[in-house]
């Protein structure tokens, strides 16, 4: 480390304390930041080094274990415990390093009236740092070990990227609904318009695609209430039955708390509220868009089907969709 | 057929005769509702008459003459069925002081006999008023299987795991995964289910006590309804694998405990790190 020597006459202050002023009460008297705990005790220093190495070995082993637990995929609790050991080992190692290997006391001193540290202070900080690194620099083993820990730790963090799965491409815009796809219940039964009584709700899925994450929709019988749709959605209902995406446009939670008195759907996560009679327009909360409406029809056998896919992407916004 | 106009003209003398016919007529109107439900609602004319007296004294001011609806915005009760009457009365939600308030669970105002009589009267209303549109009757709930999977020796029994799945998809969004309740828009409260008995849960599904939606027999069939009702009974005292239940309020309560306990521990740890020898 290098530092251009400032003019000592320009600012003679050291840690904000004027040389001629009496030592303040809150700063330890005769403080000297050049000494460290095991300065004159090589065996003690060696033991301290081994303690730190032990902590970081725990981190190393835990990271290797994490990789195994992730690939094995069976033990969530084990992963959590290993993360805890890894972070604790790293942290305790650092704390021991600071306690046993780094010199100096903590000093709280007034900064005076300057917003920028005066050159005297900066000089003192650099000087203190270079003296502090010196006992560590004599222990390359610990530095190498820290490098290894960092590497393995980084790997363990990178591994779960595999869990992100395939790139989404176009399929964020499409669901499994389409022309003539039957609405079914969660046990795969098709639904007739008369099955849902007034003020009834039902979570529906596209026939045969119960697992598709974007498709779940909520079928609502609004009873005698008056629906105020835009001209483009005329004919998307079957009598008093309307279907909307169940996935909140804010963060993707299932927005299905239906209040039959106000005809409002609420999302339990952040209280976004949608007015069903106004095409599920958001009326409260963080949701930015209406819940998309699914166009409904009845097929030749009298079961409810979708006329087409949703006309817009369902669920929360993504990179090229605000 | 007893029409509205006739009844008004001949009111009192015909009342007894009408009640006599009721018992007979009810056999036909309730006959189609299956699953032996009608035996839970009395068709005894004396009960119906007593129910009518109670209704006139306590309910008519809002719900109107013969439950045809009043001027306070209180709903007509002609076709709501005995399930609605039984649900609102046994949970103490009715009578309600102010019709604008949300009906919340309360100590029942009427005793068991009175509720039985009022149920009988409400169930008889479609015949008394001549509308003949019958609402849901008090449902019966199928028993829980003695084994954890459906038991062939116990036909019609239901399991807790069926109930859990159905509860998760139909009920948990509002009543919360452990049935602890929550909130809804416009200041409406979602009640906790921890005090609801098995019949009340089944009734609530069939009736849809506002603001709750209706879950009719074509959406949640008899077996599914029973499974949900049985599961809600389990939720009164659920198993707590992994530690404290913390009132089963979910992540908010758990996070709060984590902050209180974990945060204090971290404070101590920070204090220890800060102390140097």
Q: Does any CB of chain B come closer than 8 Å to the CB of residue A281?
A: no
Say whether both B15 and B104 belong to one domain. Answer: yes
Fold of the CATH domain A174-306: Rieske Iron-sulfur Protein (2.102.10)
- For testing contact with chain B, the best of A190, A194, A200 (most B CBs within 10 A): A200
| Closest residue by Cα to residue A220 from A252, A260, A268 | A260
Mean pLDDT of the A180-201 span: 91
B273 neighbourhood in chain A, CB within 8 Å: 95
pLDDT digits (tens, 9 = 90+) for A229-271: 899 999 999 999 999 999 999 999 999 899 998 999 999 888 9
Q: Would residue B71 count as lying in a domain?
A: yes
Query: Residues 120-179, chain A: which have Cβ within 8 Å of B?
Result: none
Say whether both B229 and B250 belong to one domain. Answer: no
What is the spatial distance between Cα B122 and Cα B60, in angstroms, rounded to a whole number?
Answer: 12
Say whether both B43 and B124 belong to one domain. Answer: yes
- A270, with CB counted inside 10 A (0-12, 13-18, 19+), is middle
- Structural domain total, chain B: 3
Say whether both B41 and B119 belong to one domain. Answer: yes
Query: Residues 214-253, chain A: which have Cβ within 8 Å of B?
Result: none
Say whether both B79 and B108 belong to one domain. Answer: yes
Q: Would residue B154 count as lying in a domain?
A: no
Say whether both B231 and B248 belong to one domain. Answer: no
Confidence tier at A2 by pLDDT (50, 70, 90):
low
Q: What are the boundaries of each domain within chain A?
A: 42-164, 174-306
Better-scored residue on pLDDT, B196 or A164: B196
Q: Which residues contact B44 (CB under 8 A, 6 or more apart)?
A: B23, B120
- For testing contact with chain B, the best of A33, A217, A259 (most B CBs within 10 A): A259
Q: Is-above-0.90 flag for pTM? A: no
Q: Does any CB of chain A come closer than 8 Å to the CB of residue B167?
A: no
- A176, with CB counted inside 10 A (0-12, 13-18, 19+), is middle
Q: Would residue B216 count as lying in a domain?
A: yes
Q: Does any CB of chain A come closer than 8 Å to the CB of residue B182?
A: yes
- Number of Cβ within a 10 Å radius of residue B201: 26
What is the spatial distance between Cα A311 and Cα B81, in angstroms, rounded to a whole number?
Answer: 41
Q: Would residue B270 count as lying in a domain?
A: yes
Q: Do A194 and B277 touch (CB under 8 A)?
A: no
Which chain B residue shows the shortest CA-CA distance from A255? B173
Say whether both B9 and B120 belong to one domain. Answer: yes
Note the ipTM here. Answer: 0.73
DSSP H or E run through A243: strand A241-245
Better-scored residue on pLDDT, A74 or A99: A99
The enclosing domain of B216 has a CATH number of 1.10.760.10
B170 neighbourhood in chain A, CB within 8 Å: 203
| Closest residue by Cα to residue B216 from B234, B227, B203, B200 | B203
Domain range holding B260? 244-277
Q: Does any CB of chain A come closer than 8 Å to the CB of residue B214?
A: yes
Q: Would residue B141 count as lying in a domain?
A: no
What is the spatial distance between Cα A136 and Cα A118, in angstroms, rounded to a whole number?
Answer: 28
| pLDDT for B271 | 86
Say whether both B198 and B268 belong to one domain. Answer: no
Q: Would residue B261 count as lying in a domain?
A: yes
Q: Does any CB of chain B come closer than 8 Å to the CB of residue A273?
A: yes
Give the tokens for residue B173. 């969004």
pLDDT digits (tens, 9 = 90+) for A204-231: 999 988 888 899 999 999 998 999 989 9
Pairing of strands A241-245, A293-294: antiparallel
Say whether both B124 and B8 belong to one domain. Answer: yes
A264 neighbourhood in chain B, CB within 8 Å: 185-186
| Closest residue by Cα to residue A248 from A280, A225, A226 | A280
Q: Would residue B248 count as lying in a domain?
A: yes
The enclosing domain of B104 has a CATH number of 1.10.760
Q: Would residue B147 count as lying in a domain?
A: no
Distance from CA of B218 to the nearest CA of A (A): 5
* Percent of chain B residues topping a pLDDT of 70: 85
Q: Do A254 and B276 touch (CB under 8 A)?
A: no
pLDDT digits (tens, 9 = 90+) for A114-150: 455 666 776 777 777 777 677 666 778 888 888 888 8
Say whether both B19 and B116 belong to one domain. Answer: yes
Mean pLDDT of the B84-98 span: 91
Say whether both B117 and B207 belong to one domain. Answer: no
The string of DSSP codes covering chain B is ---HHHHHHHHHHHHHHHHHHHHHHHHHHTGGG-TTGGGGS---HHHHHHHHHHHHHHTHHHH-GGGS--TTSPPP-TTSHHHHHHHHHHTT--S-S-TTSPP-----SS-HHHHHHHHHHHHHHHHHHT-----PPPPP-PPBPSSSS--TTSTT-B-HHHHHHHHHHHTHHHH-TTS--EE-GGG-EEPPSTT--HHHHHHHHHH--TTSPB--TTTS-HHHHHHHHHHHHHHTS---TTS--GGG-THHHHHHHIIIIIHHHHHHHHHHHH---
């Amino acid at each position: 480390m290098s530092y251009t020597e400032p003019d000592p006459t320009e600012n003679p202050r050291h840690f904000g304390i004027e040389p001629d002023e009496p030592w303040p009460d809150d700063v330890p008297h005769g403080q000297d930041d050049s000494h460290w705990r095991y300065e004159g005790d090589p065996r003690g220093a060696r033991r301290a080094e081994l303690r730190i190495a032990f902590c970081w070995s725990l981190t190393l082993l835990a990271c290797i274990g994490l990789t195994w637990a992730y690939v094995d995929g069976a033990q969530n609790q084990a992963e959590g415990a290993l993360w805890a050991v890894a972070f604790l080992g790293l942290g305790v190692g650092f704390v021991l390093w600071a306690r046993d290997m780094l010199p100096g006391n903590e000093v709280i001193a007034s900064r005076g009236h300057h917003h920028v540290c005066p050159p005297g202070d900066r000089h003192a900080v650099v000087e203190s740092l270079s003296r502090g690194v010196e006992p560590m620099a004599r222990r390359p083993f610990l530095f190498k070990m820290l490098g290894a820990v960092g590497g393995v730790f980084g790997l363990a963090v990178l591994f779960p990227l595999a869990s992100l799965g395939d790139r989404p491409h176009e399929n964020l815009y499409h669901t499994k609904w389409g022309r003539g796809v039957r609405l079914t219940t969660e046990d795969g039964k098709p639904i007739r318009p008369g099955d849902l009584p007034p003020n009834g709700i039902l979570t529906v899925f596209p026939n045969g695609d119960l697992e598709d994450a974007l498709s779940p929709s909520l079928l609502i019988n609004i009873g005698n209430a008056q629906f105020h749709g835009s001209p483009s959605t005329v004919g998307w209902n079957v009598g008093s039955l309307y279907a909307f995406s169940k996935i909140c446009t804010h963060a993707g939670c299932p927005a299905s708390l239906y209040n039959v008195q106000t005809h409002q759907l609420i999302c339990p996560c952040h209280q976004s509220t949608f007015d069903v009679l106004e095409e599920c327009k958001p009326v409260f909360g963080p949701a930015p868009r209406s819940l998309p409406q699914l166009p409904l029809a009845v097929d030749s056998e009298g079961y409810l089907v979708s006329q087409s896919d949703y006309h817009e992407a369902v669920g929360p916004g993504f990179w090229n969709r605000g | 057929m007893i029409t509205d106009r006739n009844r008004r003209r001949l009111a009192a003398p015909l009342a007894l005769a009408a009640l006599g016919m009721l018992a007979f007529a009810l056999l036909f109107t309730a006959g189609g509702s299956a699953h032996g439900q009608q035996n839970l609602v009395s068709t005894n004319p004396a009960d119906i008459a007593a129910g009518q007296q109670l209704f006139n004294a306590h309910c008519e001011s809002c719900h109107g003459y013969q439950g045809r609806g009043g001027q306070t915005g209180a709903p007509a009760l002609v076709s709501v069925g005995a399930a609605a009457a039984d649900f609102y009365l046994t949970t103490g939600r009715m009578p309600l002081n102010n019709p604008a308030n949300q009906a919340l669970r309360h100590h029942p105002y009427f005793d068991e006999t009175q509720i039985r009589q009022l149920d009988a009267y409400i169930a008889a209303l479609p015949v008394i008023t001549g509308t003949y549109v019958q609402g849901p009757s008090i449902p019966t709930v199928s028993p829980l299987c003695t084994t954890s999977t459906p038991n062939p020796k116990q036909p019609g029994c239901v399991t807790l795991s069926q109930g859990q799945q159905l509860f998760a998809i139909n009920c948990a969004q509002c009543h919360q995964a452990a049935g602890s309740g929550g909130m809804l828009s416009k200041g409406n409260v979602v009640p906790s289910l921890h005090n609801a008995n098995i019949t009340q849960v089944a009734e609530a599904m069939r009736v849809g006590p506002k603001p709750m939606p209706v879950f009719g027999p074509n959406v949640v069939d008899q077996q599914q309804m029973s499974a949900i009702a049985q599961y809600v009974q389990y939720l009164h005292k659920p198993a707590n694998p992994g530690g404290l239940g913390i009132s089963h309020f979910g992540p908010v309560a758990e996070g709060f405990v984590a902050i209180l306990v974990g945060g204090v521990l971290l404070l101590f740890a920070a204090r220890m790190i800060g102390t140097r020898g």
